């Protein structure tokens, strides 16, 4: 099934105003933002929708602290949408909504939707790098960094679920929806890629006790590692709390920086994810610091050579 990837994540939140402000400060474009909620988009039209948790139009909550109410995937065409509806209708309720999309639930109880993708095609340059032995990607006198750089996320990258039964959850997406595993952490969960993308993963699942079921984090792709670092630095300057990063993952190779959020989950910036096709063989490793990250930086206040070392720093 030609599922391209995530189009929208829908949240039912406690503090609409704080969540709206958070997503704007994160860098998403507000298509709508008011006291009832809002829609916030990346450059390609993928995005996040915010509603108050008591909004009657929301799908039911998961019964845990998670605020994620629905994950909407974009598909290539109407034929794919019909095939998904027919497949899922074999053993569960499938609803056709007024906008033509399909809604159902997965085997863990997450509400999932499918629509002919509404994302816009992007034609943007990647972050250029000059390296000895290779042709210059930036011409002479073109600087790589500017304080006024626009740092708008490009596309919704992936979502991570906490699930009580990772094996059963994986089987649903692989056997029913045509996802495939690109890598996995032993006894933790798989990285899953739908058929319509080469991105290392669109969905990652982590086995946890049932009371934790929900969204651990979501992330948007930026234009390169410098954008991740600069956007994250701006975010910290606005008062948001860094959770993990910046650094670079091993599985997927993507650069990352995670932040706490009022959406009941972490929110990440990422860039430069590996691409894999059917020739790729999934790797497996135990989950830990050495396998989760190739390297990890720690954010600190600006420092200049010659200045006094911070507490705990070693003075040479």
CATH value at residue 280: 3.10.180.10
Q: What is the mean pLDDT of each run of 10 residues along the chain (316 residues)?
A: 96 98 98 97 98 97 97 97 98 97 98 97 93 93 91 98 98 98 97 98 97 98 97 96 94 97 98 98 91 80 65 47
Half-sphere exposure of residue 133, counting CA atoms within 13 Å on the CB side?
0
Tell me what pLDDT residue 308 has.
58
Asked, for residue 133, whether it belongs to a domain, the answer is no
* pLDDT score of 311: 52
Q: Which residues of 121-147 are buried (b: 16+ CB within 10 A; e: fewer)?
A: eeeeeebeeeeeeeeeeeeeeeeeeee
DSSP letter (8 states) at residue 204: E
Classify residue 27: in a domain, yes or no: yes
Q: Given CA atoms 32, 152, 244, 47 in this order, what sign does their dihedral have?
A: positive
Q: Is 183 within a domain?
A: yes
275 secondary structure, DSSP code: B
Per the domain annotation, does 234 fall within a domain?
yes
Contacts of residue 175, Cβ cutoff 8 Å, sequence gap at least 6:
none
Judge whether 237 lies within some domain.
yes
Q: Is residue 249 part of a domain?
A: yes
Query: Which domain covers residue 43, as residue numbers?
Result: 3-119+153-296
Total number of domains constituting the chain: 1
Pairing type for strands 266-271 and 214-221 reads: parallel
For residue 137, being part of any structural domain is answered with no
Whole-number pLDDT of residue 314: 46
pTM attached to this predicted model: 0.93
**Residue 17 counted as domain residue:** yes
């Amino acid at each position: 099934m030609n599922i391209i990837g995530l189009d929208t994540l829908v949240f039912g939140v406690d503090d609409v105003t704080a969540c709206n402000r958070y997503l704007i400060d994160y860098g998403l474009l507000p298509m709508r933002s008011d006291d009832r909620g809002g829609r916030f988009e990346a450059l390609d039209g993928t995005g996040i929708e915010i509603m108050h948790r008591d909004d009657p139009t929301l799908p039911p909550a998961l019964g845990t602290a998670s605020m994620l109410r629905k994950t909407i995937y974009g598909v290539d065409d109407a034929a794919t949408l019909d095939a998904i509806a027919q497949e899922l209708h074999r053993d569960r309720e499938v609803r056709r909504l007024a906008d033509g999309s399909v809604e159902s639930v997965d085997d863990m109880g997450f509400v999932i939707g499918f629509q002919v993708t509404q994302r816009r095609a992007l034609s943007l340059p990647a972050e250029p790098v000059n390296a000895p032995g290779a042709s210059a990607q930036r011409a002479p006198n073109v600087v790589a960094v500017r304080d006024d750089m626009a740092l708008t996320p490009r596309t919704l990258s992936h979502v991570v679920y906490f699930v009580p039964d990772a094996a059963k959850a994986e089987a649903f997406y692989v056997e029913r929806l045509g996802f495939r595993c690109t890598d996995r952490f032993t006894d933790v969960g798989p990285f899953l890629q739908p058929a319509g993308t080469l991105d290392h993963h669109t969905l990652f699942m982590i086995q946890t006790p049932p009371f934790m079921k929900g969204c651990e984090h979501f992330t948007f792709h930026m234009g390169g590692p410098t954008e991740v670092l600069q956007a994250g630095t701006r975010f910290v300057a606005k008062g948001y709390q860094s959770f993990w990063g910046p650094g670079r993952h091993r599985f997927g190779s993507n650069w990352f920086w995670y932040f706490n959020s009022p959406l009941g989950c972490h929110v990440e910036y990422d860039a430069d994810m590996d691409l894999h096709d059917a020739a790729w063989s999934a790797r497996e490793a135990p989950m830990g610091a050495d396998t989760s990250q190739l390297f990890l930086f720690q954010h600190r206040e600006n420092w200049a050579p010659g200045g006094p070392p911070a507490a705990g720093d070693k003075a040479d």
